[in-house]
A and B are shown apart, each in its own frame.
Chain A
């Protein structure tokens, strides 16, 4: 089915999320919608899927104007969507999730679960998904859950399939599988809209590329276009994809984690015997697919997560068992992975957020009273230093853009003299301009002689910052490798393949290609 969007405009108050967007997706085409986080890609697709109503513009399917009042209409018209955050009911089985919303019944209105099961099995067989219709969704790995989402769309005969940032939660190998599935689907006539901000994937799988920036289409490109060109279109100016950084000046190893174990509420070892050390003046990046214990590892270091065994020492002092405020006082700077929940109090002002963990000390308070003047002048300094775009220190932090919020967190943590800097997903949901800036600050902190630990699920970021890379999988560190390790090896390690085997397999692959 051919999909055409003409002049789609969507406003949220004064913000124009989509500004007269035109888009044509031919039948059987994989059309990549490329743009930064916050460029308006997801808004556009939510309009197409009937979740939002467009203020202006029309949607055409096979040259026929259609109007969708809710996702039900879009589904009936043959549009399926795989959301970035899966729309699966965790406690339902695969079959129940697939049948939900278009249930077949028999007899006296009873659900026909057998029909749903057969449907799942048939589709799963056709694409080699290997799904068990009776498995409960919450017990499935994310890669498999995504397949359930795809089957869910296909079960309703989706002719247009929207994939919203489908690779964010996948290992590189799972990503390859997904791309193969996309090609198969396109070959059988399904039109695919592939939303992403990852250039590499676009080049690999797309037939055509539409680039969106600040809510408007800035151009189309062929997949053969060079990466630099695509990045420029996406960001709007020439971006240096890579931080200039000198080789690390390694000092003494002052931070040691040994045999650290964290057990979650249901008895799983989410961090399982993890050991590593970081020297002064080096960046260790922890790579891995989200949910492999990285969060728990950082939280255990900070002391908000109780660890079951092992030790964490900084400058010879045991941090394990300390309260978070004691850990911070010991010289640890910490950037949590979700700034809106753990890093900032969104209703507080920029100035208040800049001293959240410092406010009880001099000079920010005297006795029980806060020293507002000191807090204010600190805010002015930090805003200047970190180029935080805000109306002023008294503005609520929640009103800032993601990049500027992250600068606030980073500015607060880096404003003390540190003995260790831990940053989790330091640039998630941050615009490219700010990414550059934040990366430079992290490298500067390293060059000042602080051991730095970065946790990132983006291989690009890992490659850019790391002096060494530790790969985590299911709570363990698969291996710690040099920064120049090939991506393919890292990818295999992220799927749990040990270093040596990964190296061998990667070289074999190269041999096959030649």
Chain B
């Protein structure tokens, strides 16, 4: 009897897709409805500002009744969860757009509740998110170049840090932020060349080298900070900051304009980098060979591709990209360099790389998610909402853990990442 039961169960496992996704969505929907809708403050008004003072077209601020909006949005959210359930029942997967829309609406519902009787600017929230995502995105792209060629890059953190240091010093000396921007990649290269030397040439365990290099980068920058920058702060550690560049016409589009096209040059370089990398990775000889080396280096070797050279090139290029991202911390935001100022952002970039499935666009979106959470936490801190903002900071990482654990399908990285290639 048990035998037949087991067989039936196993058959059931095979034919029916998992109900995990719809159930998670459903629970989140109910939480939103109860917490942000039904239990929301009655009679309160939430104000979202949509235009900035500099906009050509001014849109009046949105004033919403907190509780009614929360309930309305929650109902839409629950409808999405139900739709997902129906799809799964019909044997289909929950589409990614549904998850995306669900996420956006859920956050909006939460925001409506959190900003009750207060006012916040949507534009500055999004603008800030994008800006905070910059170092994460550059770090993730740098890591992507490494990992797609088969070298795990734990040293993103170190590359960001040296990049930040180099940008600050050179921008200060030249009194020009753009000089710092040019210097940053070469400081990332210091870490990258060591990573390549030890992992590619000497086949040392990539994780260990990466961790050691991070510690090394902290030691190196702290040493120079203490021995040089502190005493000569005015000449070596007071860099000018990158200005905001308005893209004509585009920056005048409501909401999108100020968010996407009223940014520093680093953001525009990021756009270009994502586009170039996407094309490069999937549409060029360089990308095909890089991916082959990252998936199955021996196969690449047997068709005459130099595995070692490919890995060297990509590790060095990747470190330069990450180093450039490091410039954000100094010339891109606060200006002066500070000890250990990257504060683990390199590891978060690594998480963005994984969440983005080793894809440039995916990595950018994941970085934006993390950037948004960071900005949201800042905004809520100022608004003094009932939720401790540390919880907000945790949210994206909880999302990452679920994502990597397989909630949105199995995440599969380059097969040979982490394995040294020893010929013969």
Binding site for B on A (CB under 8 A): 46, 49, 51-52, 70-73, 75-76, 81, 83, 86-92, 96-97, 99-103, 105, 109-111, 152, 259, 261, 263, 267, 269, 308-311
Contact = CB atoms under 8 A, between A and B. Distances in A.
B284 A111 contact: yes
A81 B302 CA distance: 9
B6 A89 contact: no
A91 B303 CA distance: 17
B3 A309 contact: yes
Contacts of A100: 288-289, 292, 299-300, 303, 305
Contact of B283 (A97, A111, A311): A111
Nearest to B14: A267
11 contacts: A72-B303, A75-B303, A86-B299, A88-B296, A97-B299, A100-B288, A101-B305, A102-B303, A111-B288, A263-B13, A308-B6
Contacts, number: 104
A263 B289 CA distance: 35
B10 A71 contact: no
B20 to A, nearest CB: 15
Contacts of A269: 10, 14
Contacts of A90: 295-296, 415
Contacts of B285: 103, 105, 109, 111
Contacts of B311: none
B3 A311 contact: yes
B3 A259 contact: yes
Given A90-B415, A267-B14, 18 more contacts: A51-B301, A51-B302, A71-B304, A72-B303, A72-B304, A89-B295, A97-B299, A100-B299, A101-B300, A101-B305, A103-B285, A109-B286, A111-B288, A152-B303, A259-B3, A308-B10, A309-B7, A310-B6
B55 interface: no
* Majority SS at the chain B contact face: helix
A92 B292 contact: yes
Nearest to A88: B299
A111 B286 CA distance: 9
Instruction: Please indicate which of the listed interface residues B3, B288, B289, B302 has the most CB atoms of chain A within 10 Å of its own CB.
Output: B302
Interface string B269-307: 000000000010001111011011001101111111110
Counting from the closest, the 5 A-B pairs by CB-CB distance are: A72-B304, A101-B303, A308-B10, A87-B299, A309-B6
A91 B295 contact: yes
B424 interface: yes
Interface in B1-51: 3, 6-7, 9-10, 13-14
A99 to B, nearest CB: 8
Contacts of B6: 308-310
A52 B424 contact: yes
Nearest to B416: A89
A232 B291 CA distance: 47
A73 B301 CA distance: 11
Contacts of B289: 100-101, 103
A87 B14 contact: no
A70 B295 contact: no
Contacts of A101: 289, 300, 303-305
